[in-house]
Amino acid sequence: MPTIPQARLRNFSIIAHVDHGKSTLADRILEMTHAIDARQMTSQVLDSMDLEREKGITIKARAVRLDYLARDGQHYGLNLIDTPGHVDFSYEVSRSLQACEGAILVVDAAQGIEAQTLANVHLALAQGLVIVPVINKIDLPSAQPEVVMDELESVLAIPREEVICVSAKEGTNIDLVLEAVVARVPPPKGDPDAPLQGLIFDSHYDAYKGVVAYVRLAAGTLHKHENIRLMASGAESEILELGVFLPQPAPVPTLVAGEVGYVATGLKSVRDCQVGDTLTVAARPADHALPGYKLAKPLVFAGIYPMQGEDYGELREALEKLHLNDASISYQPESSVALGFGFRCGFLGLLHMEIIQERLEREFALELIASAPSVEYAVTLTNGRGEVRVDNPSRLPPAGDIEVISEPWVKASVVTPSQYIGTLIELSTSHRGTFDTLEYLDAQRVLITFELPLAEIIVDYYDQLKSRSQGYASLDHEPIGYRPGQLVKLDVMVAGEPVDALSLIVHRDRVQSTGRNLVEKLKELIPRQMFEVPVQAAVGSNVIARETIRAMRKNVLAKCYGGDITRKRKLLEKQKEGKQRMKRVGSVEIPQEAFLAVLRSGEAT
């Protein structure tokens, strides 16, 4: 691979709202620069996990080094850094952007600007990136590039002359995009002789090479025989391999300031080498780290339990393996009377939770049951005994010990066609939100901002936003800190025994209806037992809803002749298996499906 001087390097990302065609554009760019033969191209090369391809989103960032022969006759080294396209991963996006000087902004010609478009552009501008605006999908009959140009101009002050209209699907005008990257995105700066500062913008765990860090060098030169140090974690190691992705890994002897590549560290866990940390050389360390590092912090928590109790060990191993690759997951053993042994897991958001759960089920063949997701509450104790953090409603201290419960709030940005303004404001206020601002993006579309408790978003706000706007509204949100709330713990009791897995922290105004829904649902789902079973919802010792499951009166009185004997025995054997799979709360047998149904239904929370 030819060495390319810093002046002819371009480091850039592609930012877009989900489904606006980021990955397809990346594929075309890879083809154009011959990184990939069109024939061996599997669609969306950068998304290497099956799940990413299925969900049409990019979960982990990837970086590819491209050789581009520009119209000026010169070879340029283009580093394309892919970014995750979901709000759950906005910290990762910001670190990827920090590794770049420019960003291609992709906007769908039919959809226009969406909530995440705005969020991502603001992140890019905050990093001082040059934006190369691209309107994609101009091949669609519903494409309205002129309208989208108006939006870009009025909302983001992007002059229409700068906008490039492309069809990534059909390969139209991709060359113009690459030319614009070369012409508009500035080359990286950074003194090759200074002490080394490399930004970790992604990493993955490899069974042979340990943690492989994706790094953008801001200053200095890294040689393959050097020992490295991570400035935040303090971890040190010998470099096992230094290289760039073409997109297959290609070892190189050195990486120079401005370049993007990978370092195989031999480290045993991505915890030692987290996104945002600064890589330096142990022998001649930089005197300060690059700005912006923070530990990825879970925002959403849920209990994850194996359906079969004996799979607990396998679940633990699977979580350990995933955690090697994804430091943002947290997991702590917990046990539940109803669900047995499992783990309290923390995730960046609901999508992240869904992805991890699916990976556990798919890659490790586990059958799982997850409790209702919860946020982390800050509980101030009485008599100045300080504050505790609670991410599991059943662990909330007794009401008498609680001075106040605070919960995380977010600022939510919603982009929607204007006819849904009314219903979405109604939706937000009914989810304890307060309306903040409303701004017209064009004649038909508006940006509305609200402040909402995060707990409301993770319950059903997003689904309802989509259904009330017939799929047109988009959502982005960012944390704005903790606020005290009128929150209480709602317990569910079956035959007088609390069912820990169903405890919830609920706003006082909602507790009555939530409690009623829960007991009614459980009454339907719990089969009749040998005795009468009361199902109650209670706040402290105060029962707010009650249903009674009457005692079972009949369990089959049928004929039993010669041909029925074997058949009946087999049916009984099946019943017996079913009984053995049931979870026991006190003396009540509850089928796992009943928990699943309650936990999956929106009404549970």
Partner 1 sequence: MVAVPRALYVHIPFCLSLCPYCDFVVLAGRAARGPASRVAETVRALHVELDLRADALAAAGVEAAPLASVYLGGGTPSLLSAEQVDGLLDHAARRFGLASDAEVTIEVNPGPADRGDLAGFRAAGVNRVSIGAQSLDAEVLAHLGRRHRPEDVADTVAAARAAGFANSNLDLLYDVPGQTPESWQRTLTGAVELDPTHVSAYALTLDDPEAEGLTGPVGDHLPVTPGARKWRSRARDGQDEDRAADEYATACASLAAAGYRHYELSNWARPGSESRHNLAYWRRDAHEALGPGAHAFDGVSVRRWNAARLDAYLAALLPAEGVAPCLPPGGTDRIDAETARSEAAILGLRLDDGITAESAAEPVVAAGIAWALAAGLAERIEREGPRIALTPRGRLLSNEVFVRLLPDADAV
Buried/exposed 384-419: b ≥16 CB within 10 Å, e otherwise: eeeeeebbbbbbbeeeeebeebbbbbbebbbbbeee
568 phi/psi in degrees, rounded to 5: -65, -35
**354: Cβ contacts below 8 Å, ≥ 6 apart:** none
Would you say 277 or 589 has its CB closer to partner 1? 589
- Taking the C-alpha atoms of 143, 144, 149 and 154 in order, what is their torsion angle to the nearest 10 degrees? -130
Place of tokens 């300080």: 386
The residue within the footprint of partner 1, chosen from 157, 207, 443, 558 (CB under 8 A), is 558
Exactly one of 50, 573, 593, 603 binds partner 1 (CB under 8 A); which one?
A: 573
Task: Show the site string, 500-529: x = touches partner 1 by CB under 8 A, - = not.
Answer: ----------------------------x-
Measured from the CB of residue 566, what is the shortest distance to partner 1 in angstroms?
5
Nearest CB to partner 1, comparing residues 34 and 579: 579
One of 69, 251, 552, 603 touching partner 1 (CB under 8 A) = 552
Should residue 530 be labelled a site residue for partner 1 when binding is judged by CB under 8 A?
A: yes
**Cis, bond preceding 247 (omega within 30 deg of 0):** yes
Contact 516, 536 (CB under 8 A): no
CA 50 to chain centre: 16
Would you say 223 or 569 has its CB closer to partner 1? 569
Residue closer to partner 1, measured from CB, 513 or 575: 575
Q: Which stretch binds partner 1 (CB under 8 A): 25-33, 273-281, 441-449, 566-574?
A: 566-574
Q: Which tokens in the block code for residue 396?
A: 């909330």
| DSSP 3-state of 12 | strand
* Nearest CA among 192, 202, 171 for reference residue 31: 171
Q: Which of 438, 560, 587, 603 binds partner 1 (CB under 8 A)?
A: 560
Per-position b or e across 235-272, b if 16+ CB within 10 A of its CB? bebebbbbbbbbbeeeebeebbbbbbbbbbbbbebbeb
| In the complex, least distance from residue 577 CB atom to partner 1, rounded to whole angstroms | 7
- Our CB check for partner 1 shows the closer of 157 and 556 to be 556
Contact residue for partner 1 among 569, 600, 602, 603 (CB under 8 A): 569
Of positions 71, 579, 584, 600, contacts partner 1 by CB under 8 A: 579
- Judge residue 351's burial from the number of C-beta atoms within 10 Å of its C-beta, 0-12 exposed, 13-18 middle, 19 or more buried: buried
Q: Which is nearer to partner 1, 189 or 569 (CB)?
A: 569
Q: Are 298 and 250 in contact (CB under 8 A)?
A: no
Q: Does 593 bind partner 1 (CB under 8 A)?
A: no
Binding segment for partner 1 among 208-216, 377-385, 410-418, 564-572 (CB under 8 A)?
Answer: 564-572
Listed in sequence order, the residues at least 6 apart from 101 whose beta carbon sits closer than 8 Å to its beta carbon are: 10, 11, 12, 129, 130, 185, 186, 187, 188
Q: Which of 71, 362, 508, 576 binds partner 1 (CB under 8 A)?
A: 576
Residue selected from 183, 365, 438, 572 as contacting partner 1 according to rule CB under 8 A: 572
Query: What is the closest distance, in whole angstroms, from the C-beta atom of residue 309 to partner 1 in the complex?
Result: 16
Q: Are 231 and 289 in contact (CB under 8 A)?
A: yes
Minimum distance from residue 365 beta carbon to partner 1 (Å):
22
Select 283 or 571, whichever has its Cβ closest to partner 1. 571
CB of 603 to partner 1, least distance (A): 23
Candidates 73, 400, 481, 562; binder of partner 1 (CB under 8 A) is 562
What's the DSSP call for residue 323?
Answer: H
- The verdict on 567 binding partner 1 (CB under 8 A) reads yes
Side-chain half-sphere of 602: how many Cα atoms within 13 Å? 9
The least CB distance from residue 578 to partner 1, in Å, is: 9
Nearer to partner 1, 439 or 532 (CB): 532
Site stretch for partner 1 (CB under 8 A), options 169-177, 240-248, 346-354, 551-559: 551-559
**Closer Cβ to partner 1, 362 or 569, answer by number:** 569
Among 126, 440, 553, 602, binds partner 1 (CB under 8 A): 553
CA nearest to 63, candidates 40, 84, 39: 84
Q: How far apart are CA 542 and CA 491, in angstroms?
A: 10
Q: Measured in Å, how far apart are the chain's first and last C-alpha atoms?
A: 57
**Contact stretch for partner 1 (CB under 8 A) within 63-71, 161-169, 332-340, 568-576:** 568-576
Calculate the CA 371 to chain-centre distance.
18
Q: How far is the CB of 552 from partner 1 (least distance, A)?
A: 6
Using CB under 8 A as the binding rule, whether residue 584 contacts partner 1 is answered as no
Q: Under rule CB under 8 A, which residues in 404-463 are in contact with partner 1?
A: none
**Minimum CB distance to partner 1 smaller for 389 or for 554:** 554
Query: 39 or 554: whose CB is closer to partner 1?
Result: 554
Burial label for 326, CB within 10 Å (0-12, 13-18, 19+), is buried
Q: For partner 1, which is the closer residue by CB, 508 or 579? A: 579
Distance between CA atoms of residues 300 and 308, nearest Å: 24
Instruction: Reduce the DSSP state of residue 504 to 3 states and report it.
Output: strand
Q: Does 559 participate in binding partner 1 (rule CB under 8 A)?
A: yes
User: What is the DSSP secondary structure assignment for residue 167, as one 8-state letter?
Assistant: B
For partner 1 (CB under 8 A), the number of binding residues is: 27
With contacts defined by CB under 8 A, name the span among 277-285, 437-445, 474-482, 557-565 that binds partner 1: 557-565
Nearest distance in Å: CB 348, partner 1: 43
Tell me which of 361, 367, 577, 593 binds partner 1, using CB under 8 A.
577
Structure tokens at 172: 């139209």
Q: Distance (Å, rounded) from C-alpha 566 to C-alpha 191?
A: 83
375 neighbors 364 (Cβ within 8 angstroms): no
Min CB(310)–partner 1 separation in Å: 13
| Stretch near partner 1 under the rule CB under 8 A, chosen from 238-246, 320-328, 489-497, 553-561 | 553-561
Q: Which window, 118-126, 216-224, 383-391, 548-556, contacts partner 1 (CB under 8 A)? A: 548-556
CB-based contacts of 463, cutoff 8 Å, min separation 6:
602
Residues forming contacts to partner 1 in the complex (CB under 8 A) are 528, 530, 550, 552-563, 565-567, 569-573, 575-577, 579
